[in-house]
Amino acid sequence: MYLALSYDHRLIDGRESVGFLVTIKELLEDPTRLLLDV
């Protein structure tokens, strides 16, 4: 599955955007974490 994110580099640092995508990836790989809020 391909997931992309578009953002303005003037407002958001690349580190935050990558961290957000990593979190989304982890939640998609293990949906029980999302349901249990772990």
pLDDT tens per residue, range 4-34: 888 888 888 888 888 999 999 998 899 888 8
- Residues involved in catalysis: 9, 13
Residue 19 pLDDT: 92
**pLDDT higher than threshold 80 for residue 38:** no
Rounded to whole angstroms, the Cα distance separating 12 from 2 reads 22
| Whether the Cβ atoms of residue 17 and residue 5 lie closer than 8 Å to each other | yes
Distances (CA, A) of 4 to 32, 37, 38: 23, 24, 24
